[in-house]
Structure 1
Amino acid sequence: MNALLAGQASLPRALRRRHAVVLLGTGMVGGAFLRLLDTPAGAALGLVGAANSRHQQTDPAGLAERSLRERLAVAGAARDDAALLAALDADAAVHKVIIDASASAVLAARHPAWLARGYHVVTANKALAGGDLQGWHALQAACAGHARYGDAATVGAGLPVLSTLRRLHACGDALLSLEGVLSGSLSWLFNRYDGTRPFSALLREARARGYTEPDARADLSGEDVARKLLILARTAGFALTRAAVQVENLVPEVLRALDTGQFAANLEALDAPLAARHAAATARGAVLRHLARIDRHGRAQVGLVEVAATHPAAHLRGTDNLFALKTTRYRAQPLVIQGPGAGPEITAQALLGDVLALV
């Protein structure tokens, strides 16, 4: 057996792989995924194409370069999805997978068409499943075919919350309520925000660590959490629309219309309002946490709330996400899923896990 394994390990990677992969999005998550391809876990994957929003690479020699992400940032063939799909079609691998590591709504809208063509789709992109209800229904219809959809990275950065909800729903269990911290970036921010440092300084650090979305207003506005809550609710059987979710926007009006660069240069406008809320919560013996909630009637809210020091969310660490599920069979004691919910490495690992689950 050891000799057989040694022989397999010596084979060229192209002969050993069972997955041909096109990676769309080479930002922080996409870059982390590229690094995973050089680990033993990624040995079964063959990268046949990679692209950012402007450039792409399908040449095997170029794809094998360790500086692929950096090269695509400045040069490469013009982005052409037809050429990327042709590279997938030409490969002899058993499974042909499109990995969407972008945040593009345009790309997300193509997921049903890719599935209908027989490509597996693995994604961290929430724009379709957490967008309008019509897009969700189109996605579910496309998933009824042979191709599979890997979405573990869309909520909880791979924590087993979507798979748990699907299992419970399939067994006839019904969600009575869900409460939790759904944003790793907002978890990190409010776990650390104790009034000793301006909120703007913490936000800049979170951005540098890769915890926030490229435009942090996607986090602070509550819209990223709202998309996640919609995915969770729909997975649990609620046909929820975005209009049904009450969302608190933490971004002051003065910052909402700025471009991304101007917003980043004016983060101090966030400090005074949040300092006042922190002081008020502290005076009442509470802490601030960003929570998402849905009840059995489909009423859903997202926003910053005061919680007592005994609340489970008050004891989170780092980028922890928390999902507390009450169902007809987990009524007396909620089913709790907790763990890190942000970061390029764990999100990329969720993508890789979904690809490997195709075997």
Structure 2
Amino acid sequence: MKVLKFGGTSVANAKNISQVKNIVASNGDTKIVVVVSALGGITDLLLTTANLASDQNKEYRTYLKEIEERHMQTIKELIPVQSQSKVLSKVKSELNILETLLEGAFLIGEITPKLSDKIVSFGELLSSYIISEYFASEKLDVGYQDSRELIKTNDNHGKAAVNFEMTNANCLAYFKDTPHTITVCAGFIASSVNGNSTTLGRGGSDFTAAIMAGALNAEVLEIWTDVSGMYTANPKIVKQAMAIPHISYEEAMELSHFGAKVLYPPTIQPVLSKGISIVIKNTFEPEAAGTLITKNQNEKGKTVRGISHVESIALLSLEGPGMVGIPGISKRFFEVLSNAGISVVLITQASSEHSICVGIASSDAKKAVAIVNEAFEYEISLGKIKPVILEEDLAIIALVGDNMKSHQGLSGKMFSTLGKNNVNIRVIAQGASERNISAVISKGDVKKALNALHEEFFEENIKQLNLFVMGVGNVGAKFLNQIQQQKKYLKEYLKLNIRVIGISNSRTMAFDENGISLKNWESVLAEGEKADSNKFFETINSLNYRNSIFVDNTASPAVSDSYTTYLRNSISVVTCNKIACSSDYNKYLELKQMARKYNSPFLFETNVGAGLPIIDTLKNLIASGDKVKKIQAVLSGSLNFVFNNFNDQTTFHDVVLQAQKEGYTEPDPKIDLSGIDVMRKILILARESGYQLDIEDIENQSFLPEESLATTNNDDFFASLVKHEASFQKIFKEASKKDCKLKYVAQFENGKASVGLQHIPKGHDFYNLEGSDNIVLFFTERYPNQPMIIKGAGAGAEVTASGIFADIIRIGNF
């Protein structure tokens, strides 16, 4: 014999019930018991209706009418017209009884647990009767049996305790004599030995099926629901979650206790001792394998089998010096909670006995605080124990697996993963069996925590990076295209899955929680909402993804001012914007300190040399104990381009204009030609070398006329270049006479920095620097005479984008 249970979603409407019939019919001549829940949503409607009635709110009649219409419509869609009369009459009769009960609650203005059980039982009573009649109309060999005649309980209404001796005897007697292949029974409901309707608690339909399976020594218990088994994590929160093919009873109980809602925790108890297998199947994908639950047959190497969570948790802490060494404090504490019917989900106690901390449902929090404070009123008045400390808006996350105890370091791996993602752990609990490691965290961090842990334990070490890109112009567009091009390579060879969740330009911004398609990001952005930098941050923060990275491709001072906000919220920052790192030294220092404090990398490789690994190389030198003595560099690709192309056959104006058109300069070319850009770069290198320096400390030997420096727009600036062409030609001729080339050089030595145009003779490392290339010479204690040289393309959207990309990969490898 087999027992099949179908949940509320499986019997939510006529279409779904028809699918249930196909599954039942596929069992052929095998004797089966079909246990069904109420039509999807009906139990909640019944509870709402009952509460409204007890509040003497006439609106309950509206809900009652909706309940009636749902059942009548289901009958009309399922049962042939010629067979409907009997079914409609029976259901209408039951609904009249329900209406009478609700009228009684309305008149007296209250509802007792006993009456509540009677009212909510109608959901399963009606659905099971309708489904059995539908099966009969489809020519199945079916009988209907009221579960209240089989399952006997005490009178603890709301969550009655089963009398297994009587129940097992009833089930064996009934099913021994039933002539039908299929028997349909209502889940959730039972009756006391006095004949009163009782219920087995929410999720009790699973329990009903398990009770019957245990009583009948069934071959298998099948739980049919709307997902294809128990998952490694909640698939609604963790998109990469996968069904677990095979799991032990104990693992299933732990996962269900900690929020895996496909299985009601008590379900396993009646079948565990008899070794009856449980299969979790999907009504809407019956061909899917689902999850098989049996005795532990976990293959070697499988440690963590699932990650689960319970939301809406509150922590109660009782502490004080008067608890130390005093017997009975814990007993009194838990006894008070037990007597009030408050269930404790998690317990931890300091070895000093100075404090006890328990996790309970948030709905019980205020009640628990009041009764515990009352119970320890005397000790509190003497100052021996503090009033109860309450913390709310929390959740429990748990790693579950039978074989976890035989693998070292799992706790460390769990807590390290959470720490890297700035998920603060309030309480930790681990049982002696080591089958479960639990941690209490903020409710707002659940999504991030579950995804981070799932990535760590189940996804073959593929790390997901979630990018939020501000600035999608020349550099930003190239960057997005590079991600699109390399996405497959990164996942296959570097184990990195990069998703762009948000993008913004100065006009619009767009977000997609599942990742923006980089094939058509332009059209997505065009249809986005109005750009708002504050809202951009708020969206990132509210999404609270692990490994979130803010990418700044702008040159905006306002955007650079926001870095502290991002870093403080554990959002990494990657930027080609030089303003932040070249601003006030204390601001620069604050950003570096915040990155360390909140474990949020702050990378800006492209601030110097575009895609060249200049800053990264410098960091490695310093980290290895080397010390920088001197830096000489050509750091402006735009200025190098200009002076490589300027001669007595050209005009300075035309060469600068060409550099701007080809993307080598900033939109405002004066930033490059004034030397301020190079000043920022040498300042950053000096700071990264460990020196305290500000922009005002750098000597700028500008070659631009004062009139050019004083301009406020590009038109006036270019006009001034034409006006002063003679002075630019003079600069060129002076260098030519010495057989030298003009290079704009940055230098740092003995704590002092300068930038300016220099005559570079033949044989110098800078002399043959072509196009827009950059070059940096690091003279250090290890490289005192022959410097370490880094040379290559130092400007252009493509190489700058690749530098940003490299920083993203660095974060992925952290």
TM-score by length of 2: 0.40
Of the two structures, which has the highest relative contact order with CA contacts closer than 8 Å and spacing of 6 or more?
A: 1
- Structure 2 counterpart of 1:211: 664
Following the alignment from structure 2 to structure 1, what is the Cα–Cα distance between the partners of residues 554 and 590?
20
- Structure 1 counterpart of 2:178: none
1:174 to 627, 634, 637: 627
- Structure 1 counterpart of 2:717: 263
- Structure 1 counterpart of 2:547: 95
Following the alignment from structure 2 to structure 1, what is the Cα–Cα distance between the partners of residues 600 and 593?
11
Do 2:702 and 2:757's aligned partners in 1 also have CA atoms closer than 8 Å?
Answer: no
2:727 to 273, 280, 286: 273
Residue 261 of structure 1: how far off its partner (Å): 3.8
1:125 to 577, 597, 604: 577
Q: Does 1:162 align with 2:608?
A: no
- Structure 1 counterpart of 2:275: none
Task: Give the aligned residue type for 2:797.
Answer: P
**Deviation larger for 124-133 or 43-52:** 43-52
Following the alignment from structure 1 to structure 2, what is the Cα–Cα distance between the partners of residues 290 and 310?
17
Following the alignment from structure 2 to structure 1, what is the Cα–Cα distance between the partners of residues 791 and 515?
40
Residue 288 of structure 1: how far off its partner (Å): 0.8
Residue 273 of structure 1: how far off its partner (Å): 1.6
Residue 193 of structure 1: how far off its partner (Å): 2.1
- Structure 1 counterpart of 2:698: 245
Task: Give the aligned residue type for 1:259.
Answer: N
- Structure 1 counterpart of 2:321: none
Structure 2 vs 1, CA of residues 265 and 31 (structure 1 numbering), >3 Å: closer, same or farther? farther
- Structure 2 counterpart of 1:292: 746
Residue 122 of structure 1: how far off its partner (Å): 0.4
Task: Give the aligned residue type for 1:274.
Answer: F
Do 1:210 and 1:344's aligned partners in 2 also have CA atoms closer than 8 Å?
Answer: yes
Residue 91 of structure 1: how far off its partner (Å): 5.0
**Deviation larger for 317-326 or 81-90:** 81-90
Report the secondary structure of 2:680's partner residue: helix
Report the secondary structure of 2:581's partner residue: coil
Report the secondary structure of 1:122's partner residue: strand
Residue 71 of structure 1: how far off its partner (Å): 8.1
- Structure 2 counterpart of 1:26: 472
Structure 2 vs 1, CA of residues 266 and 243 (structure 1 numbering), >3 Å: closer, same or farther? closer
Choose 1 or 2 for highest CA Rg.
Answer: 2
1:227 to 668, 680, 686: 680
- Structure 2 counterpart of 1:77: 529
Following the alignment from structure 2 to structure 1, what is the Cα–Cα distance between the partners of residues 505 and 718?
23
- Structure 1 counterpart of 2:776: 323
Report the secondary structure of 1:38's partner residue: helix
- Structure 1 counterpart of 2:324: none
Could you report, residue by residue, the CA deviation over 1:73-101 in whole angstroms, capped at 9, with x for unpaired residues?
Answer: x8742222343234434658541010011
Do 2:481 and 2:518's aligned partners in 1 also have CA atoms closer than 8 Å?
Answer: no
Residue 257 of structure 1: how far off its partner (Å): 2.5
Residue 113 of structure 1: how far off its partner (Å): 2.1
Q: Tell me, which stretches of 5 or more residues in structure 1 are unaligned?
A: 1-13
Report the secondary structure of 1:239's partner residue: coil
- Structure 2 counterpart of 1:185: 638
Residue 159 of structure 1: how far off its partner (Å): 1.3
Residue 46 of structure 1: how far off its partner (Å): 1.6
- Structure 1 counterpart of 2:344: none
**Deviation larger for 332-341 or 185-194:** 185-194
Could you report, residue by residue, the CA deviation over 1:89-146 in whole angstroms, capped at 9, with x for unpaired residues?
Answer: 4658541010011111111122122111100100001101012212111112112221
Following the alignment from structure 2 to structure 1, what is the Cα–Cα distance between the partners of residues 719 and 711?
13
Structure 2 vs 1, CA of residues 59 and 329 (structure 1 numbering), >3 Å: closer, same or farther? closer
- Structure 1 counterpart of 2:590: 138
- Structure 2 counterpart of 1:35: 481
Following the alignment from structure 1 to structure 2, what is the Cα–Cα distance between the partners of residues 343 and 71?
26
Could you report, residue by residue, the CA deviation over 1:39-62 in whole angstroms, capped at 9, with x for unpaired residues?
Answer: 124773222211123322225799
Report the secondary structure of 2:593's partner residue: helix
Following the alignment from structure 2 to structure 1, what is the Cα–Cα distance between the partners of residues 725 and 756?
17
Do 1:62 and 1:68's aligned partners in 2 also have CA atoms closer than 8 Å?
Answer: no
2:565 to 96, 110, 113: 113
Task: Give the aligned residue type for 1:188.
Answer: F
Could you report, residue by residue, the CA deviation over 1:167-221 in whole angstroms, capped at 9, with x for unpaired residues?
Answer: 2222222111110101111111112223221121111111111110110000000
Task: Give the aligned residue type for 1:26.
Answer: V
Structure 2 vs 1, CA of residues 312 and 221 (structure 1 numbering), >3 Å: closer, same or farther? same
Report the secondary structure of 2:503's partner residue: strand
Structure 2 vs 1, CA of residues 220 and 75 (structure 1 numbering), >3 Å: closer, same or farther? farther
Report the secondary structure of 2:760's partner residue: strand
Residue 253 of structure 1: how far off its partner (Å): 2.3
Structure 2 vs 1, CA of residues 133 and 169 (structure 1 numbering), >3 Å: closer, same or farther? same
How many residues in Structure 1 have an aligned counterpart in Structure 2? 344
Following the alignment from structure 1 to structure 2, what is the Cα–Cα distance between the partners of residues 36 and 200?
34
Do 1:17 and 1:93's aligned partners in 2 also have CA atoms closer than 8 Å?
Answer: no
**Deviation larger for 49-58 or 106-115:** 49-58
Following the alignment from structure 1 to structure 2, what is the Cα–Cα distance between the partners of residues 167 and 59?
37
Structure 2 vs 1, CA of residues 278 and 75 (structure 1 numbering), >3 Å: closer, same or farther? farther
- Structure 2 counterpart of 1:307: 760
Do 1:58 and 1:84's aligned partners in 2 also have CA atoms closer than 8 Å?
Answer: no
**Deviation larger for 244-253 or 56-65:** 56-65
- Structure 1 counterpart of 2:322: none
Report the secondary structure of 2:795's partner residue: coil
Task: Give the aligned residue type for 1:28.
Answer: N
Task: Give the aligned residue type for 1:99.
Answer: V
Do 1:249 and 1:303's aligned partners in 2 also have CA atoms closer than 8 Å?
Answer: yes
- Listed as ranges, the matches of 1:41-52 within 5 Å are 41=487, 44-52=497-505
Structure 2 vs 1, CA of residues 330 and 309 (structure 1 numbering), >3 Å: closer, same or farther? same
Following the alignment from structure 1 to structure 2, what is the Cα–Cα distance between the partners of residues 294 and 110?
30
Following the alignment from structure 1 to structure 2, what is the Cα–Cα distance between the partners of residues 109 and 250?
31
Following the alignment from structure 1 to structure 2, what is the Cα–Cα distance between the partners of residues 69 and 215?
25
Q: Tell me, which stretches of 5 or more residues in structure 2 are unaligned?
A: 1-238, 241-461, 492-496
Do 2:537 and 2:566's aligned partners in 1 also have CA atoms closer than 8 Å?
Answer: no
Do 1:21 and 1:88's aligned partners in 2 also have CA atoms closer than 8 Å?
Answer: no
Following the alignment from structure 1 to structure 2, what is the Cα–Cα distance between the partners of residues 247 and 148?
32
Cα RMSD after superposing both structures: 2.4
Could you report, residue by residue, the CA deviation over 1:221-256 in whole angstroms, capped at 9, with x for unpaired residues?
Answer: 000000011100000011011111001333322232
**Deviation larger for 28-37 or 237-246:** 28-37
